[in-house]
Each structure stands twice: as structure tokens, then as C-alpha cells.
Amino acid sequence: MMIKKNFKMVLDFEKPIHELEKKIAEMEDYAKDTGLDLSEDIKRLSRKAQSLQKEIYSKLTPWQRVQLARHPDRPYTLDYIKYMVTDFLELHGDRYFADDPAIVAGLGMIDEERVAIVGHQKGRDVKENLFRNFGMAHPEGYRKALRIMKLAEKFGFPVVTLIDTPGAYPGIGAEERGQAEAIAQNLQDMFLLKTPVISVVIGEGGSGGALALAVGDRVLMLEHSVYSVISPEGCAAILWNKKSNSVGPKEYENASDALKMTAQDLFGFGVIDEIIPEPLGGAHRNQEETAGSVARSLQRHLEALTHMSAGELLEDRYRKFRIIGEVRERV
């Protein structure tokens, strides 16, 4: 497996690693052009780069994890479909208004299991991001998602949702077409689906736009993904906005910490069921390896859930969400 090294963006805390990798690439090119044997020097720098990676990524702050979750080279829904799904057939439209490219939905095979797949889709460049609306779905996107989920229920297919959105689109048109109602309908009907549902937060899990695809029997998160009711920037603007409107990285860091939005925090609270490990340096460094980890986790949970009756699924799903946030007093 090749590890991608030509990234669109290098985060501030990644720069020391990037500089070392740049030097290694230059030495490899120089050795190739001149015929000199620089293998020992290259090995030494490679070990140093790997050691630096381990040191940096073992001490990530919540705000740094937010930045990783938003990395433009991070795998999106269509990337996961490419690597872990066979015979994928995309289905379009909500049968009410239009098709929404911000959500991809269809049927395919994961291993030997036929599943329905629904996920947010961001773009890789400006043109594609405008087409995908930066992964922010309109009401027709959520209605399309629910239509595919109900189709899966009809034919007895499990549902897999992949979540990666800043939130539902807050534009006037979306509000006029019933954004809140569409999200609420998804929440209600996903609780009633008589087929297994597994939700995976693969990047950003933002507010109701994420929750509308996240009512699952199992909710999983990638190691460097985040899931929260509001973004750190939005939270900081509300809590610490000054007259000069000068909120910045310090406030974003404080908000990220206070929101407890990382996979590690949410696993500790019992909000999610599993943290899926990412390659060293994040999912963007090896998309194929990340997709393999997600596929193995899905296969394991699907095997367990497909042996449960519809009644057991509904009861277990209700109980799972009912106890989130439960307060217990010590006697």
C-alpha cells in the first residue's frame, strides 16, 4: 500500500514531519539522479520522521483533532465505497423535490453482506465543494437518505451510514423546504427501522445534520473524528465573543476542550460504541488502510446484529439512546 505524501494542506503541527519527509524525498531523488548510495542516511531520517510522528500524534489536543477531522485529503464517503464496497449502485432523489449531491446513497456489498449505504460527501476542490455544498445537506438529502433506509428495511438489508458534515445547510431555501422537519423525521423513523443500522463518524459530526444519520444500533468513530452539537468556532463566538469580534485559535482550543467532542471523550461517556484506529498521522495518510479498518469493524458488528430479531433491535436501540446523558447520584 502506498502512503499518500502530496497533501493539499499541511497543518501547523504537521510541519516538522512534513519538512523531514520533504528532505527524504529530495535525498531519494538526488540518489536516483546521481547513483550515490544514500540509503543509510535515508533510513536514519525515516526513523527520525516516524519517531517524531509518534511523539506528535500521541499528544494531540482536541482542537488539533478537529483540524485532522477536516483535513481536505481525508477519505470521504465515495472513497470508502471505492475501497470497501463492491457492486455499488447509487440511487438518487427524494421523490419530493430533487437529488442532493451532499448525500450519497445506494446499495452494495461489504464482504458477502448486501447493505444500504448512506453518507455525507464533501468535495476535493472548489468546484466539487460547490456541487456537494461542502457536505451540508438540504432537506431533500435527508429525505433521500430515509427513502433508501426504508428500501433497505423492505428487503431486509442492514443500513450503514457514514457521517462527515459541518451540519445541515442553514440557507433560506432549505428552511423553506422544511429542514428541521426532515431531520426530525429521520430521527423518528430511524428508531423504528426493523433492520440493523451502523453509523460511523468518519470526519466531522456536526449537530443535527450529523445526528439525522446517526441513530444506529452501533455508533462508531474514527480515531481523529469529532462529534458535537456545535463547532468550536460557533461555540467560541457565543461564549467568548468580544466587542472587537476577536475570537481566535485560543478560544477555539478552549471550546474544543469544553465540548468533549473527540472520539476518546465520547467513548468514555458511552455515547459511541467503538473507536476505529487510524494510520499513524491520520486517515489522510493512507486512505486504503483506513477503509480496511472500517470494513473489518463493520463486518464484526454486522455479524452480531444480523442474528438479532427486529424486536430485539428496536428495544436495544431505544435503550441505547435513552441512557445517554443519564445522571446517577452517589448515595
Are 159 and 48 within one domain? no
Q: Is residue 245 part of a domain?
A: yes
Q: What are phi and psi of 204, to 5 degrees?
A: -90, 130
The count of structural domains within the chain is 2
Residue range of the domain that includes 36: 12-59
Residue 255: predicted pLDDT: 93
Q: pLDDT tens across 300-309, in order?
A: 999 999 999 9
Q: Whole-prediction pTM value?
A: 0.88
**86-90 and 103-110 beta bridge pairing:** antiparallel
Residue 303 has what DSSP assignment?
Answer: H
Q: pLDDT tens across 70-119, in order?
A: 999 999 999 999 999 999 999 999 999 999 999 999 999 998 899 999 99
Q: Is residue 6 part of a domain?
A: no
Are 36 and 80 within one domain? no
Q: pLDDT tens across 202-246, in order?
A: 999 999 999 999 999 999 999 999 999 999 999 998 888 765 567
Are 152 and 35 within one domain? no
Q: Is residue 3 part of a domain?
A: no
Residue 331: predicted pLDDT: 67
48-53 long-range CB contacts below 8 Å, 24 or more apart? 48/20, 49/17, 49/20, 49/21, 49/24, 50/280, 52/16, 52/17, 52/20, 53/17, 53/280, 53/281
- Percentage, residues of the chain above pLDDT 90: 72
- Asked if residues 288 and 91 have their Cβ atoms less than 8 Å apart, the reply is no
What is the C-alpha separation between 219 and 239, in angstroms, rounded? 29
Q: Is residue 299 part of a domain?
A: yes
Q: Is residue 270 part of a domain?
A: yes
Residue 4 in this model has a pLDDT that exceeds 60 = no
Are 53 and 71 within one domain? no
Are 47 and 130 within one domain? no
Are 44 and 87 within one domain? no
Are 163 and 272 within one domain? yes
Q: Is residue 327 part of a domain?
A: no
Q: Is residue 5 part of a domain?
A: no
Residue 3 in this model has a pLDDT that exceeds 50 = no
Strands (E), the chain: 86-90, 103-110, 113-120, 159-165, 197-206, 218-222, 226-228, 274-276
Give the distance from CA 110 to its chain's centroid: 18
With vertex at residue 144, the alpha carbon angle to CA 288 and CA 117, rounded to the nearest 5 degrees, is 25
What is the C-alpha separation between 287 and 109, in angstroms, rounded? 19
Are 174 and 282 within one domain? yes
> At 289, is the pLDDT very low, low, confident or very high (cuts 50, 70, 90)?
very high
Mean pLDDT of 168-173: 94
Are 48 and 77 within one domain? no
Mean pLDDT of 26-55: 78
Place of cell 472548489: 126
Residue 242: predicted pLDDT: 62
Cell numbers linked to 286: 493512507
Are 53 and 87 within one domain? no
Cell numbers linked to 120: 455525507
What is the C-alpha separation between 304 and 297, in angstroms, rounded? 11
Q: Is residue 136 part of a domain?
A: yes
Q: What is the CA radius of gyration of the chain?
A: 21
Are 78 and 38 within one domain? no
- Asked if residues 135 and 120 have their Cβ atoms less than 8 Å apart, the reply is yes
Are 29 and 168 within one domain? no
Q: Which residues pair with 199 in a beta bridge?
A: 161, 219
Taking the CA atoms of 77, 78, 84 and 87 in sequence, report the sign of the dihedral they define.
positive
Q: pLDDT tens across 190-204, in order?
A: 999 999 999 999 999
**Domain containing residue 209: CATH number:** 3.90.226.10
